[in-house]
Amino acid sequence: MLFAPADLTEEELELQREVRAFLATELPRGTFEPGLGMAAPRDRGFSAKLAERGWLGMAIPVRYGGRDRSAVDRFVVSEELLRWGAPVGHHWVADRQTAPTINRFGTEEQKQRFLPAICRGELSFAIGMSEPEAGSDLAAVRTRASRVEGGWLLSGTKVWTSGAHVSDWFVVLCRTGESTEDRHAGLSQLIVDLRADGLTVRSIPFLSGHRDFNEVVLEEVFVPDELVLGEIGGGWAQNTSELAYERGGPERWLSTYLLVEELMRAHEEVLGTERASIVLGEMVASWWGLRRLSLSVARMIDAAEAPAVQSALVKEMATRFEQDVLACVQELVALEPVRDGDSLLERILFEATLSAPSFTIRGGTNEILRSVAAKGLGRL
């Protein structure tokens, strides 16, 4: 498999400089607690400020509130936000994958209803894919929607639904057709109100004490026909397209970036050792390689391609890299991760240590991603 070479143009580099200047002014170092990648805190006000600058819904058409910019432009903005540890949680899912998916598969009514509000930073979305006995094997989902007058009754359980307790909507992958030998057949996507009657959100405490993960139980939740996303029975192809937005971006290799940056600030004495030079050199080389692959995926999206296989490969390699970075930092400095530690490094190390096991699970386990890649390579 070949990834096309990808470098930033001068216009894209100018956008990068603009975002860096904005962050230095809006969120000066030391004035806020930075988050780790896309798991950063939620801040509606900050999301609204990004929207005012045209940095949400960047690739969405102007007529729907977007800016008609490229996936690469969004890559540039996202990379800088994540690198800075900015509070992107409120808008992240809606901006990254829900808006492009609705723009591609939604009806005109759906586009008019949801896209402008997403681009203004007003609506937040969660992801309704994983299930208790399906996990990353999305073809095994059992949540079912049954046809009724005017819409569908949706029943089932979704799990690991990050942010469902504070989000407005989620896009649910469910079964609408009869079971066949082809597990990919009969799947559809519905846009579901997270405050609908019959829907219950139950918190799942994480090791760090955070309660961002949720189980969402749907008991005959009515979903009107106008909230069917795309074609009935077309859910698998649509979901695969959505995963290309989810798996190949900078959030898959920047989760532990701040850990290294803060190590270099707080422990300069470590940097002079031969071992540190080797370890940091290997990390930087890997980081640049992954960045170029990820940028290439964004270029493919701009070329109207569907780089699901390439995104799966980037995600598999990148999330292992994020975990390796944590291990390298732990090797270089003898420091206990402390939840309420005096230093920022201690606190970031605490968050990274407890959340790192999830990196190779969220968005698809390594085993599933390797399977996607292996099957996809045979078709390329």
**Residue ranges of domains in the chain, CATH in brackets:** 10-122 (1.10.540.10), 127-233 (2.40.110.10), 248-377 (1.20.140.10)
Quick one: CA dihedral 249, 253, 259, 263, positive or negative?
A: negative
Alpha-carbon span 372 to 359, nearest angstrom: 18
Q: What number of CA atoms fall less than 13 Å from residue 256's CA on the CB side? A: 29
Q: DSSP class of residue 63? A: G
Alpha-carbon span 172 to 193, nearest angstrom: 10
Residue count of the chain, please give it.
380
Mean pLDDT of the chain: 92
pLDDT score at 365? 87
When pLDDT is averaged across residues 148-173 and rounded to a whole number, the result is 96
When pLDDT is averaged across residues 262-277 and rounded to a whole number, the result is 87
Q: How far is CA 54 from CA 121, 262, 269, in A?
A: 10, 30, 42
Beta bridge partners of 126: 170
Alpha-carbon span 169 to 177, nearest angstrom: 23
Tokens linked to 351: 């968050």
pLDDT band at 135; cut points 50, 70, 90: low
- Determine phi and psi for 80, rounding to 5 degrees: -70, -40
Whether the CB-CB separation of 301 and 231 falls below 8 Å is answered with no
* 180 vs 57, residue with greater confidence: 57
When pLDDT is averaged across residues 264-275 and rounded to a whole number, the result is 86
**pLDDT tens digits along 51-83:** 999 999 999 999 999 999 999 999 999 999 999
